[in-house]
Amino acid sequence: MWYGLDRVPTDLGPTVVTIGVFDGVHRGHRELVDRAVAEARRRGIASVMFTFDPHPTVVFRPSAVPALLGTVHQRAEQAYACGIDHVVVVAFTRELAGWTPQEYVDRVLVDILHARTVIVGENFTFGRNAEGTSEMLAELGAQRGIDVQVVPLLAEGDHTICSTWIRERLVAGDVAAAAGALGHSFEVE
């Protein structure tokens, strides 16, 4: 696991990258990770999970920080167990949050990770004021020779599998539903 963009080896790449907070590495996240691993193996290149610590809410709404479903180390362990080759953890700061979507793509995906394919969920946002959407990422990627795959959210019954829903299930005492959505048992460290 590399903590910080400056820790990523300069000779890394080309890569297939999946990006997100990945809190809990639930079944929806697993879909992204599994696709990244499969695409990287198909292409014979490295797979990367690009994630953030702390959770972006710590920067934008410190009074509303959610109880996290796991530590950054647990996220990395789960990603490696799924076959991800590398995990890059970046400190989520106001400076990073201030980058334009174009800066984010150029500085991270092109210059450092040498991404050939990027896989994100349909609700993915990035860049200053969350201006960047999955659609914008696809456009920026196409301009730079990066294939961007946007994965639909994983729906189950009347809800989508997401970290917020899982937290709500845990607060309600429905550990079985939370574990089902996580795809693994919930552990407290």
Task: Enumerate the domain spans of the chain.
Answer: 2-154
For the stretch 67-98, pLDDT in tens is 888 899 999 999 999 999 999 999 999 899 89
Residue type for position 30: R
Question: At 186, is the pLDDT very low, low, confident or very high (cuts 50, 70, 90)?
Answer: low
pLDDT tens, residue by residue, 136-148: 999 999 999 999 9
pLDDT value of position 88: 98
Q: Which two tokens stand for residue 182?
A: 């996580």
Question: Is the predicted pLDDT of residue 187 greater than 70, yes or no?
Answer: no
Judge if the upstream peptide bond of residue 9 is cis by omega within 30 degrees of 0.
no
Strands (E), 4-152: 15-19, 46-52, 86-90, 115-121, 125-126, 132-133, 147-151
Least confident of 27-36, 50-59, 171-180: 50-59
> CATH fold of 2-154, please?
Rossmann fold (3.40.50)
Exposure class string for 103-126: b at 16+ Cβ within 10 A, else e:
ebbeebbbebbbbbbbbbbeebeb
Read off the pTM: 0.92
The per-residue pLDDT for 21 is: 92
Separation CA 5–CA 110 (nearest Å): 12
pLDDT, residue 22, reads: 94
Cis peptide before 101 (omega within 30 of 0): no
pLDDT tens per residue across span 92-120: 998 998 999 999 999 999 999 999 999 99
